[in-house]
Structures are given as C-alpha cells and as structure tokens.
Amino acid sequence: MTDARQEVLAAPQASDQYVQSLARGLAVIRAFDTEHPVMTLTEVAARTNLTRATARRFLHTLVELGYVRTDGKTFALTAMVLQLGYAYLSGLSLPQLAMPHLEELSLKLGESTSAAVLDGTDIAYIARVTTRRIMNVGITVGTRFPAYATSMGRVLLAALPPAALKAYLAATEIKPLTPRGLGSVPELLAVLETVRAQGWCLVDQELELGLMSVAAPVYDGPTKVVAAVNVSLQAQSVAAQPDRDAYLASVAEEIVATARLISADLTARG
C-alpha cells in the first residue's frame, strides 16, 4: 500500500497551479488507516515525511475543523472525514455508482451483470458489464424488455405500491415469450409474492431459451426501490453444476450482496 509519505515525496513541486499546503494536509488525513487508526505527532510526521512542527500545524488545524480529534498525546480521524467521500458520491449518477460493483461481481462469477430501471411497462438497461454474448439480441445501455418477463423487471414490479402495480397490469398484455414463460396475471402475481418474500428473483428461460438470470433490488434509502441488478447465466452451464440449486442460491447471495453495496453508495450520496 502506498503510504502518505510516498505520496508527499511523489508530489509535484509547488507552483501557481499547485497548493503544496493542501497536498500536505490531505497527506496527513491519508496517513491514518486500518493499521494506524491512532498516532502520535511523531508517527504522523514520520508517515508523511513532514517535520514535527509542520505536522503539528496541520493536525491542530484539522482538529479545529473537526476532522481529527486528540487527547493531547495521540490523534485520530473523526467521522466528519466521511463528508469528503459523500461530496464525491453526491456527484455520481446511479450507473456510475453501480458500475464498479457490477464489474467486480462479473469478474468474480465470470458472467455478465446489468442494472435496469422500470420505464413504463418495460425495463431499460442503464449499466452493463458483458463477458460474452448469450442472447440472440445484443444488450446495451438503453435496451428494453417487457418487465414481467425479466428478473430485474419482476424485482421492480414486486416493489410497486398496489395502485401502481394495478395500473401496470392494466396497461400490459401478459403472454409467454417462450414455452417456459408465464402467461397470466395470477401467475405473475404469485411470482411477485415470492420475490417479495425472498428478496430476489430467478427467471429460467422465460425471456429467451437458454438464458437464465438472477436479480435483486437496489434501494435509495430504507424502503424506496429505484433499480435492479442482475447476473445473466447460461442454462446449459447451470445444468452442468454438480448441485444446481446450491449454485443458484450462491449466485443469488452474490447479487443480493452487490445490490446492497450499490444501495449503500446511493443512500450515502443522499
């Protein structure tokens, strides 16, 4: 791990476009980490390659601003430093927040991952990480599918208030898109009840034969579902697993965990 001392040493020389004091102040903040949560003045000076006098000025300035606390001998960061990260998060859109998490999950599972929102009677893709093409129709940002036939769509429909769900059903023709697809409102309502109960959704070759997907909801706050994320799977690969049900359960656990991470970022953004 690059420590604060290395960062100060690597910093460019001060100029009319570079504020060295700001760089040093930030280096003092970055000097604190999981291995050094509490430090003395001497330790901070050593980790930042600053003199004790300079480190003392920065530390006491940060104490006055509320970013650092001290007992007179040691120093530690306060929760106020989180505001620096929140300022960054507040400028990010949902796709930008989701992408790093989708990329990590895709790398971990070796499968494509996506995020979508409900737009009318369809879902619209807002982010996607592709490992290989497993559908006849290529999926890109902006691609739309009938919500009732997709795992992300069912997650989003399951979160709708009763009146909104009723309006959706009135505007939508529920019909099977494959021989495995559901084809009636009662069937869909039963599936949505299951989705609400378990917190995720599995669709098995109902949008296209050979394609499976597992989705989970993304929250903005404690109860407001604003999007869904999913993992796309090849039915043939799933069938080849020694324990199909255990494998799907593990995928569901991963997508739920990813959705929670995105939700946390989104909620922190405020």
Express each pLDDT in 130-183 by its tens digit.
Answer: 886 555 556 788 889 999 999 999 999 999 999 999 999 999 999 999 999 999
Asked which of 34, 53, 87 is the last residue of a domain, the reply is 87
Same domain? 101 vs 40: no
Domain assignment of residue 60, given as a range: 4-87
Asked which of 87, 115, 134 is the last residue of a domain, the reply is 87
Same domain? 154 vs 249: yes
Same domain? 30 vs 145: no
Same domain? 40 vs 104: no
Same domain? 97 vs 195: yes
Predicted TM-score (pTM) of this structure: 0.69
Helix (H), strand (E) at residue 186: helix 185-198
Asked which of 34, 66, 87 is the last residue of a domain, the reply is 87
Q: What is the pLDDT of residues 187-230, one digit of tens each?
A: 999 999 999 999 999 999 999 999 999 999 999 988 999 999 99
Same domain? 175 vs 265: yes
Same domain? 13 vs 115: no
Dihedral class, residue 118 (left if φ above 0, else alpha if ψ from -120 to 50, else beta): beta
In eight-state DSSP terms, residue 13 is P
Same domain? 134 vs 17: no
pLDDT of residue 62: 95
Same domain? 110 vs 163: yes
